[in-house]
Amino acid sequence: MKIPLAWLRRSVAGNLRAQLILTTVAPVAVLLIALTIVGALALISLTQALVQDRDTELVQLAARQIADDWELSVHLLAQVASAEPIRAGRRDDAQGLLRENAVLQQRFDLLSVTNAQGHVIATEGGALGQDVGNLDYFERAKQLRRPVRSPLHDDGHGRRVITVAVPYFDGAGRFGGCVLGTWDLAGSQLGAPVASIRVGEEGYAFLVDQQGAILYHPDRSLLAAQWMEHPSVAAVCEGGAGAQTIRWRSERTIIAYAPVPLTQLPSSLVADESWEGWGLLTSQMWEDIVAPLQPYLILMLFLLLLALLLPLAFLALNSRRIVAPLQSLVAQAEEVAAGRFESRVSVDSGPTEVRELEEAFNTMVAQLLKYRNDIQNYVVSILNTQEQERKRVARELHDDTAQALVVLGRRIELATDLTSRQELVRELDELRDMVDDTVRSVRSFTRDLRPPLLEELGLPRSLQILGDRVSRDESLEVTVRIEGQPRQLLPEVELGLYRLAQESLSNVRRHAQATRATVELVYDAATLALRITDNGIGFEAPEDPSELVSSGRLGLVGIFERARLFGGKAEIESAPGRGTVITIGIPVTTIVLAPDDGIRP
């Protein structure tokens, strides 16, 4: 039945309740609808941004870990290549060496040894007599005298493989052949470190080469497929890193990507350009990410419909109880978007549905905080690994290189005593001085790599030793002050603070043109502060630390990142001609205290 428009106008005009509902509910309804849409969009956008940031950091850390793992595999191949049976060309011994090397068999699908002409003379899983001498990677390894990696190719037996070739040389330095480690795309060794990466509940990681070919994917039917048309694959093949939310083959996914930085490692084994170009990607379905939010979005819609049906009086009396929690939720969402995960929405006496939404938001923020803490713990493990490697390099430099240089200096002195030619004596004296300078440089470099007795002496004494050494070796007067009662911190925290001081003094020495610097370590009940002050030329300190990257001040960027790692923050105060003050503040919590210490009341 059609209601006449004129009759509807008369009914509304003569009915006060209808007028109140029409004039009051309509604006409130519009407002509630707008708030619901904005809140949902903000929540979805925030979730997307946080997940993209998390996945970007995760994929970069995972790519570095995979690079370290593959570098270790090449190092193990190089050890085999340096073995006497290989260098001497003893086939039976070489075969036994490959057969007994269980570690390499767990890292490569095939292991082989060739002679100088490229014929396989020993193999584990391959074919004897196979000729690889005409392949580019074999010739490249021979010419460059260093390990190289082949592109994806057919090995002649119907297998799609990638080969790592490590050249070896006989006692006279002549090229003897290569030790080959082969990854078969149909095998499991190449993708083993990638398969262990987990992204959320259902996410996964996959690997591509510089041509966009898939080298590892959980869906094995995609192996060797060309995905260069995929936006993220194209981006990582161009050397980019980041995360994208895209629709790929009718599915919306968040893809994070980063190059595998093999050539950026300090090892010279993987310095050839053939090690460049591979990329790691992680994929997570957007539906899986937002699935936990869908019940609450439905709940928000239900609350909206309920609010539209309530009488005007209820809206007038209870609008504050409904709107205030939502405003608090938006404010806390902005806090979380800014990276401050410690804040929480307070669950007050508002409507039950709003409290549930607040609890759901708090749960989500707690989960995001857990993700960030997991990433921080992962970075700590990476830093610990780096420190162990620094200690190993320092030991080798001290025990091998420095001692060899000392012996070389003594041999030069003996040679000086054996000749009467003054010109030769002068040359030998200069050469001996150069060796002595090199020994001092190696020892200084060793001290920088390994903090002297940090575990035994503690952070305060180690900082004093660092200041004394810089004052002694450089034209920079360093004063170290310790304030408050020192507290025992976790070893990685003390090491991180020591590295922060070391990096700060290095920046002062190289860039500040300063004559004096002060290092202050201040302990109090709630925080631990490390402050480095210099009287150098100073600079215009940006308000946003990210601008330091574009200005090339990567050392200062590293200081900010190390401070954030332990839940703290760094501040820089500087101006041209007025020196620089770097302050690192770390809250003293159970996260940074040693197990036998605690927070005093």
pLDDT digits (tens, 9 = 90+) for 320-346: 555 566 666 667 776 665 455 666 666
> Domain 58-292 falls in which CATH fold?
Beta-Lactamase (3.30.450)
Selected residue with higher pLDDT from 31 and 163: 163
pLDDT band per the 50, 70, 90 thresholds, residue 136: very high
Predicted confidence (pLDDT) at residue 598 exceeds the cutoff of 50:
no
Domains of the chain by residue range = 5-48+293-375, 58-292, 456-601
- Mean pLDDT to the nearest integer, 100-110: 91
Chain position carrying tokens 């509807």? 8
* Residue, of 384 and 281, whose pLDDT is higher: 281
Q: Encode 490-518: b = buried (16+ Cβ within 10 Å), e = exposed.
A: bebbbbbbbbbbbbbbebbbebbebeebb
Specify the pairing of strand 251-259 against strand 242-248: antiparallel
In degrees rounded to 5, what are phi and psi of residue 311? -65, 165
- Highest-scoring range by mean pLDDT, 105-109, 485-489, 497-501, 551-555: 105-109
d(CA 97, CA 302): 71
pLDDT digits (tens, 9 = 90+) for 294-317: 777 787 777 777 766 665 555 555
What is the tens place of the pLDDT at every residue in 502-529? 888 888 888 888 889 999 999 887 788 8
The Cα-based distances of 36 to 107, 159, 273, 327, 539 in angstroms read 53, 56, 53, 11, 47
CATH homologous superfamily for the domain 456-601: Histidine kinase-like ATPase, C-terminal domain (3.30.565.10)
pLDDT of residue 344: 64
pLDDT of residue 113: 94
Per DSSP bridges, beta strands 516-523 and 477-483 are: parallel
Q: Tens digits of per-residue pLDDT, 246-297?
A: 888 788 899 999 999 988 888 888 888 989 989 999 998 888 877 777 777 7
| DSSP code at position 342 | T
pLDDT at 436 over 50: yes
Q: Report the percent of the chain where pLDDT is more than 70.
A: 70
Q: What is the pLDDT of residue 525?
A: 78
Token pair of 144 as six digits: 């460059």
Residues 6+ apart with CB under 8 A from 294: none
Residues 6+ apart with CB under 8 A from 316: 24
Percent above pLDDT 90 for the chain:
24
- Report the alpha-carbon distance of residue 59 to residue 487 in Å, rounded: 36
Strands 160-169, 148-149: pairing is: antiparallel
Supply the DSSP string of 154-171, one letter for each residue: E-SSS-EEEEEEEEEE-T
Q: By three-state DSSP, how is residue 523 classified?
A: strand
Tell which residue, 192, 230, 229, has the closest CA to residue 103.
192
Residue 48, H or E segment:
helix 26-81
Taking the C-alpha atoms of residue 144 and residue 148, their distance in angstroms, rounded to an integer, is: 9
